[in-house]
Amino acid sequence: MTRRVAVIGAGKIGEALLSGMLRGGKRPEDLIVTARREERARELRDRYGVETVTNAEAAKAADTLILTVKPQDMGTLLDELGPNVPDDRLVVSGAAGIPTAYLEQRLAAGTPVVRVMTNTPALVDEAMSAISAGAHATEEHLKRTEEIFRGVGKTIRVPEKQQDAVTALSGSGPAYFYLLVEAMTDAGILLGLPRAAAHELIVQAAVGASVMLRDSGEHPALLREAVTSPAGTTIAAIRELENHGVRAALLAALEAAANRSKELAEGLK
């Protein structure tokens, strides 16, 4: 029997998962989607040929429910969903900061819950998704979750207590790289390059560096040393980066992101 998967609250992450599951071979009839606004539901129906229903209907019709609403909307969603989710459903939460225990308290006793932190490269099947079991999730539930998220990239299992750090690192991570690319494009313009050329140069440098990091298995320090010639250009730039505390800034930034992830849980009703 084919399991049906429901994406509850299909925004950016939900749509990325939906499209990934379709690219991975699921049929539109195996998938159900919910949206808060009819206009959004119509958009998803037209784009993917999937059925859009209410949250309560999705809870009844699907075996696996993937919740992809914002953390701030999770309380309201669970008020609505709680009484409608049979306890044999697997509930997967993709929300930053929300502990599995919070969902378990609002669902029928014993409902299996899995927490996942993915990222937007899911849109190009290059996501990094970290998966943690809640109190009632079994190996089968973890495997079912991995199968879904492997369709859009890599997966890793982590203890739930590490999820705030994961959120700071790989969940938010793409944003830090985009910020660097933006800033380096501006630096190219400062040095007199046309914007389009500066953008193309730095994007390809980023792609090349990423592929080398992933495929060579080398430590990043070794890869950096290979670029850094004695009395050369790179070391002149690195001295400025160190003078401006780039490493310390990254340590502080990721600590702030992890703290914010913890705070999101504190704001829940």
Ligand X SMILES: NC(=O)C1=CN([C@@H]2O[C@H](COP(=O)(O)OP(=O)(O)OC[C@H]3O[C@@H](n4cnc5c(N)ncnc54)[C@H](OP(=O)(O)O)[C@@H]3O)[C@@H](O)[C@H]2O)C=CC1
* Site residues (vs ligand X, CB under 6 A): 9, 11-14, 34-37, 40, 55, 68-71, 73, 76-77, 94-96, 117-120, 171
Identify the bridge partners of residue 128 per DSSP, sorted by sequence position.
154
145 is a contact residue toward ligand A1CAB (CB under 6 A): no
The residue length of the chain stands at 269
Stretch that binds ligand A1CAB, among 104-112, 167-175, 198-206, 241-249 (CB under 6 A): 167-175
The least CB distance from residue 69 to ligand X, in Å, is 4
Residue with the CB atom nearest ligand X in the bound state: 11
The DSSP string of 4-19 is PEEEES-SHHHHHHHH
Stretch that binds ligand A1CAB, among 21-29, 42-50, 60-68, 164-172 (CB under 6 A): 164-172
16 CB neighbour count, 10 Å cutoff: 24
The least CB distance from residue 195 to ligand X, in Å, is 26
Phi-psi region of 145 (alpha: psi -120 to 50; beta: other; left: phi over 0): alpha
The span from the CA of 134 to the CA of 250, in Å, is 30
Q: Which positions from 87 through 116 interact with ligand A1CAB, judged by CB under 6 A?
A: 96
φ, ψ at 40 (rounded to 5°): -70, -40
Q: How far is CA 269 from CA 202, 226, 258, in A?
A: 44, 52, 20
Place of tokens 């050329």: 197
Position 167, amino acid: T
Whether 99 and 115 have beta carbons less than 8 Å apart is answered as yes
Q: Which positions from 191 through 250 interact with ligand A1CAB, judged by CB under 6 A?
A: none
Interaction partner, residue 77 (ligand X, ligand A1CAB, none; CB < 5-8 Å by kind): ligand X
Interaction partner, residue 64 (ligand X, ligand A1CAB, none; CB < 5-8 Å by kind): none
171 is a contact residue toward ligand A1CAB (CB under 6 A): yes
The least CB distance from residue 39 to ligand X, in Å, is 9
Place of tokens 């899911």: 122
The least CB distance from residue 6 to ligand X, in Å, is 11
The span from the CA of 11 to the CA of 6, in Å, is 13
Residue 189 token pair = 């313009």
Residue with the CB atom nearest ligand A1CAB in the bound state: 171
Interaction partner, residue 55 (ligand A1CAB, ligand X, none; CB < 5-8 Å by kind): ligand X
What is the CA angle 65-69-74, rounded to 5? 90
172 is a contact residue toward ligand A1CAB (CB under 6 A): yes
| Nearer to ligand X among residue 9 and residue 99 (C-beta) | 9
* Chain centre distance of CA 114: 14
Number of residues that bind ligand A1CAB (CB under 6 A): 4
> Which residues of this protein are in contact with ligand A1CAB, per CB under 6 A?
96, 167, 171-172
